[in-house]
Amino acid sequence: MKRLLILLSILLLTGCSVNYNLEIDGDLFKEEITGNIYKYEFDDISDINGDHNIYWLLHDRQTAIDDEDSFYEQNINEIGDNVEFNYKYNYNNNYGASNILNKCFEKKTFEETNDLYIVHLYGNFYCQYADEIKVNVSSKYVIFNHNADKVDNNIYTWILRKNDDADISLAISKNIEPLRKNKKSIFSPYRIITFILLIVLIIVSLFIYIKRNRKNN
């Protein structure tokens, strides 16, 4: 539990921006948390905040579920005056045990059938320490009945803001892919007109050939 609180407390950082990305592929849930802070915050090793000071927040290993073996893959890069951080973890048929899913939301529904995942997260959002947090969900399979704030290129985005309750709802297929636009039909208007003109040209050429042949005879 302590490690979870440390990870979630990253959202307390001043100047911090946070994106929570989740890619769903059948039983595989790929979770990624990205953000950035000012470099002076990253380098601060003072004891003002005790175990939760910023230095240790980003240097200590964090767990994705209540299991010492479930460590996030952690990557930190310094770019000018900023530090970008990235946490990744893949859940294989066990996303229901995710710390983020279970500890951040006051109320949750996470159900699985043979064909669907049904998710409803609502009520207080206990990790809302930044003014705005973007939750991005994507999948190669069909997402039904969502209430996303924005959809762009098969990425469904919910924006969680301070003083607002969370409300994330979606049902996602485990095996049905979206219909894709077919290539141009061989019966498209352009192809039909071209085909007709070609037939007419052949008929006219044949007619001229026969007429000349008769005349010569």
For residue 38, list its beta bridge partners: 82
CB 23 within 8 A of CB 98: no
- Name the 3-class secondary structure at 16: coil
Q: How far apart are CA 124 and CA 127, in angstroms?
A: 9
153-205 residue pLDDT tens: 889 999 998 889 999 999 999 988 887 655 455 556 767 787 787 787 778 77
Identify residue 175 by its one-letter amino acid code.
N
46-95 residue pLDDT tens: 544 444 445 555 667 888 998 878 999 988 888 888 888 899 999 999 99
Q: How many angstroms separate the Cα of 217 from the Cα of each of 160, 208, 209, 210, 211?
A: 89, 14, 12, 11, 10
Terminal C-alpha separation, the chain: 102
Kindly state the tokens that stand for 98.
Answer: 């995710």
Burial label, 214 (beta-carbon count in 10 A; 0-12, 13-18, 19+): exposed
Sign, CA torsion 99/105/86/143:
positive
Q: How far apart are CA 85 and CA 162, in angstroms?
A: 22
CB 137 within 8 A of CB 156: yes
Question: 42-51, 68-77, 118-127, 131-140: lowest mean pLDDT where?
Answer: 42-51
Cα angle for residues 29, 73, 172 (degrees, 5° grid): 10
The pTM assigned to this predicted structure is 0.71
Q: How far apart are CA 48 and CA 42, in angstroms?
A: 14
Helix ranges restricted to H, the chain: 2-8, 39-43, 54-59, 99-103, 189-216
Q: How far apart are CA 65 and CA 49, in angstroms?
A: 24
Question: 22-31, 123-132, 148-157, 184-193: lowest mean pLDDT where?
Answer: 184-193
